Amino acid sequence: MKITCEKNSLLKSINIVVKAVSTKTTMPILECILIDASTDEIKFTANDMELGIETKVEGTVQENGIIALEARLFSEIIRKLPDSEVTISSDSNFNTLITCEKAKFNIMGRDGEDFSCLPYVERDSCVSISQFTLKELIRQTIFSIAQNESNKMMTGELFEIDQDQLRVISLDGHRISIRKIQLKESYGEKKIIVPGKTLIEISKILSGETEDIVDIYFTENHIVFEFDQTVVVSRLIEGNYFRVDQMLSNDYNTKVTINKKELLDCIDRAMLMVKEGDRKPIILNIEDNTMELKIISQIGTMDEIIDIEMKGDNIKIAFNPKFLMDALRVIDEEKVNIYYMNPKAPCFIKDEGDSYIYLILPVNFIDVG
C-alpha cells in the first residue's frame, strides 16, 4: 500500500476516528486505526465493537492495500510532522514507512484483514436533520445521563419518534431532561436507546452548521449517523426505557417567571460558598414576587434576592445547585418558567410548548428561618 496526503487532512481524519479506538482491550487490533486504500478512495476506520467510525481521507492512492496502525503512535507521529505532504507505504510484512520532507518513521503495522470492520446495517429509511439541531439536542440533554454503569439504561438517551416529532430524553435518577423538535417529514413510531458515549463523540465531530445535514438510520440493534464524509455506527442499549410520561405533571401550586441569566449568575455566586465535593443545597424562599436564594456552608453563608413574577402559593424548597445550573445553561430564552408543587415534589422548568422540560428533584434541608 502507498498513499500520499496532506498532513492536515490526515490529522483531521485521525481526530475523527480516534474517538472509536478502544482504550481498554485485550485485543491489540482494536487499538489500531485501519487505513483502507484497497480502492481509489482512502478510508480510516476505528472500532471498539460498541462504537465504530469510518471517514474518507483526501489524498492519492499510489498502490492499493490495507494496513492497521497503532492509533496512539500513528496519531502522535502525524501530529508532529511538518505541515506538508505525507507519504505512507507498507510492504507485505506490514513494515510501514511514514515520510514527510526530511522526516522518516519506520513502524510495524498489523494485518488489515484482521481488523473488525463496521457491521453492515440496513439503510431502509432515514431521519434527516441539520447538524446544528442534532448537536443542540445532545447539548441540551446529555448532562442528565448517569455517569456510572450500575444502571445501563441511564447511561443512554431515549430517541423517540412519533410521526413528525422527535423527543430526546435522558435521566439519572435525580433529574430528567427532555427536548422535542418537529421533523420535516412523518416517520411512524420508533423508540431506541442510544449510548451517551456515542452521542458525546458524535457531538464533537458535527460541524454544527444549519445547512449541513446528518442522516440517521435505525435498526433493532444499531444506529447509523452519516454526514460529510463520515459514517458512525453504534450499538443500541437493549431494553425498555423508563416510563417518563408518568413522572411528568401539569399540576402546580406555584409558577415563577424569572430572568434566566440573573438566576444563573446568582446560583454561580452562591457556589463560591461550596467546596469542591461538598454537597450543600441552595434554598429558595419564594414569596411576594421575590425569590431569596441562600447557601449555608462551613465557609460561610450567601443570600441574595431576585425579583420575579409569581402565581400561586409561597414556597420554600431546596435543590442541588449544580442541577439547576446545568438546566439553565442550555436554555436559550431570556426568561424561564419554573413550576413547583410542594417542597417534596420535583420542580419543572419548561416552555409553553413543552419543546424543553427539565425535571429536578428537591433535596432535604434544615430550615433556619
Report pLDDT digits (tens) over 202-221: 999 998 898 999 999 988 89
284 neighbors 319 (Cβ within 8 angstroms):
yes
Average pLDDT for the chain: 94
Is the whole-model pTM more than 0.85?
yes
**Residue 127 carries which side chain, given as an amino acid letter?**
V
CA distance 147 to 156: 10
What kind and span of H or E run contains 327? helix 321-329
| Reported confidence tier of residue 24, pLDDT bands at 50, 70, 90 | confident
What are the grid coordinates assigned to 215, written together? 442522516
CA–CA gap between residue 334 and residue 320 (Å, rounded): 22
Give the pLDDT band (50/70/90) at residue 368: low
- Burial string for 269-292 (b: 16+ CB within 10 Å, else e) reads ebbebbeeeeebbbbbbbeeeebe
Q: Percentage of the chain with pLDDT > 70?
A: 99
> Does residue 177 register a pLDDT over 90?
yes
| Cα atoms in the 13 Å half-sphere on the side-chain side of 364 | 0
Helix and strand counts by DSSP (H, E) for the chain: 6, 27
* Euclidean distance between the first and the last CA atom of the chain, given in angstroms as a whole number: 75
| pLDDT, mean of residues 32-46 | 97
Indicate the pLDDT class of residue 119, thresholds 50, 70 and 90: confident
Complete domains list, the chain, with CATH: 2-114 (3.10.150.10), 126-242 (3.10.150.10), 248-360 (3.10.150.10)
The Cα 45–Cα 35 span in angstroms is 7
pLDDT-derived band at 150 (thresholds 50, 70, 90) equals confident
Asked whether residue 369 carries a pLDDT value surpassing 70, the answer given is no
Q: Where does 23-80 show beta strands of DSSP type E? A: 32-37, 42-47, 51-57, 60-63, 65-70
Q: Residue 183 pLDDT > 90, yes or no?
A: yes
